[in-house]
Amino acid sequence: EPEVTQTPSHQVTQMGQEVILRCVPISNHLYFYWYRQILGQKVEFLVSFYNNEISEKSEIFDDQFSVERPDGSNFTLKIRSTKLEDSAMYFCASSPTNTEAFFGQGTRLTVV
């Protein structure tokens, strides 16, 4: 069964460093998303992406965040200058119809 894959599974970074989280969505899906989940809290929407542009973004998704689909398969989330409060699980998801979402296994980001 097709699945969303994310790399790396764990990332530890120093505060102020840039990180790039990578995702390969399901191949025939057109809608892509990033969510995050701080330990013990709700899954929170960050951004949606369709037709090579951002469709919607949350208040969390400030100027430190950016997304890119550099080629036909990858979808990346970049955090320019990480803060301690960026520590969380980051989930990529994709959808064929912009309704139900299929999530990857996540990247655990730890900022020290």
Tokens 């369709």 — which residue?
50
Q: Tell me the helices (H) and strands (E) count for the chain, helix number first.
A: 0, 11
Nearer to another protein, 19 or 36 (CB): 36
Tell me if 99 contacts another protein by CB under 8 A: yes
55 neighbors 72 (Cβ within 8 angstroms): no
Q: Least distance to another protein from the beta carbon of 65, Å?
A: 15
87 binds another protein (CB under 8 A): no
Question: Considering the complex, what minimum distance in angstroms separates the CB of residue 6 from another protein?
Answer: 8
Q: Is the dihedral of CA 96, 98, 100, 102 positive or negative?
A: positive
Among residue numbers 19 through 78, which ones bind another protein (CB under 8 A)? 31, 33, 35, 41-45, 48, 50, 55-56, 58
State both tokens at 77: 């989330």
